[in-house]
Amino acid sequence: MPYLDHAATTPMLPESLDAYVRVARELGNASSLHGSGRSARRTVEESRERLSEALGAKPSELVFTGSGTEADNLAVKGMHWARRTEARNRVVTTAIEHHAIADAVAWLGDHERADVTELPVDEVGRVKVEALAELLAERAAEITAITCMWANNEVGTLQPLEEIAALAEAHGIPVHTDAVQAVGHVAVDFGASGVDSLALSGHKLGGPAGAGALLLRRDTKVTPLLHGGGQEREIRSGTLDVPGIAALAEAAVIAVSRQKDEATRLAALRDDLVERIRAAVPDAIYNGDPVDRLPGNAHFSFPGCEGDALLMLLDAAGVECATGSACSAGIAQPSHVLLAMGAGEFDARSSLRFTLGWSTTQADVDALLAALPESVERARSAGLS
C-alpha cells in the first residue's frame, strides 16, 4: 500500500532495526556497576557520541528522552521554571507549533500563570521575525524562553531560526526548537544554529518510536520534569532504553549521512507530485513556502472537500496520507496552522498532507495520482449532498 504519511512516522531503517534487535538481546541496566551494566553504559555513551557528532553537538549536550514530545516539554517547561521570577514570566511561542509545544505552553499559561505571546506567521507559514524584534524591544526583560520549530510539521515551511536565535541572544534569552521534522531531512547543525536546545524523535527519521533526545547547551538552566535516579545529568531521570538509544543513533547517523542526496531525490518526487496534482485538480491550493520547505512535504487544500472524507476515500483506494498532525487526527477542527496563515475555516478543513520518506518510490506517487481525481470528485459530491 502506498504510504505517504512519513511526517507522522516512518518505517525503521533496516540497520536501525538490526541494532535494536542486537542490543535488546543483551542484558544490562546502564546504571548498574557490574559487567552487564558497564556494557550497557558503553553502548549508551557510544551512541551519545555518534548522535551528537552527526548533529553538530558535544556529547555532554545530549540528553536522551522517551520521545520528541518529552524533549519539547522538558525544554519549554524546564527553561521557564528555571528562569521565571515575579517580573519575568513570559513564554514566547509561534502560532504554528506542533501540539507538543503548543499544549505545553498553554498548560504553563493555564496552570502556572505564565504570560504567553504567540508570534504571527505570514501567508506561507513563516514566522514574522519583525514581530519578535518589536516584542524584544518592549518586553525582553519579561521573557523566560522563546520556542520556534525548525520546520512546520503540516505545511513543511522552514523557519528563520538563526535570525530568531540572534535576536534572542542579544537579550540573553534561551531559544528552544522542535526539530523533530527537520533532523535527517534538512541540514541541522546544533552548534551553528544559535539555539540553546533542540528536540528530535527517532521514529521520524527511520529509528524506533519511544526514543528521542534533547540537545541542551551546558550553560542553559532547566528544571527537570522527572525526578528519580538522576540519570542524564540529573535532568531526565529514568532507566535508559539501551536498545532504543542504539537504534536511534544508528538511524540518525545514516539519515544525516544520506541527507543531501535523499533530499534531492525526495524533492524531485515531490515536485512531480505537486505538478501532477495541479494538473489533475486545477483549483487545488498548494500550501507552505514553495521553496524553503521540507523536501518530502506537499500540502494541499482541495476546495469543496472535507479533508477527512477525502483522506478516507484515498485510504479505500489504497493510498495512505494525512489531514495534518497525526496527534490531532480524527478531531473535527480546522488546522490551526492554516488558520494562522490566513486561510478560512472551511479551507482549513479541506487540506491533505502528503509526506515522502526513505521508502517512497515513484510508484507511490503514481498510485496517488491514479486515485486522487475520482476521490476529489466523490468528496465534493458528498459535500454538496
Residues 6+ apart with CB under 8 A from 197: 75, 79, 174, 175, 176, 177, 214, 215, 216, 217, 220, 222
- Among residues 243, 250, 245, 254, the alpha carbon closest in space to that of 213 is found at 245
Active-site choice (148, 305, 321, 327) = 327
Helix (H, G, I), strand (E, B) or coil at 150: coil
- Name residue 108's amino acid: L
Q: How far apart are alpha carbons 365 and 367 in whole angstroms?
A: 5
User: Is 321 among the catalytic positions?
Assistant: no
Sheet holding 285-287, edge to edge: 285-287, 297-301, 351-355
Distances (CA, A) of 285 to 20, 77, 276, 324, 372: 41, 37, 13, 15, 14
Q: How far apart are alpha carbons 294 and 266 in whole angstroms?
A: 9
Q: How far apart are alpha carbons 295 and 266 in whole angstroms?
A: 6
Residues 119, 130 contacting (CB under 8 angstroms): no
- Active site members: 327
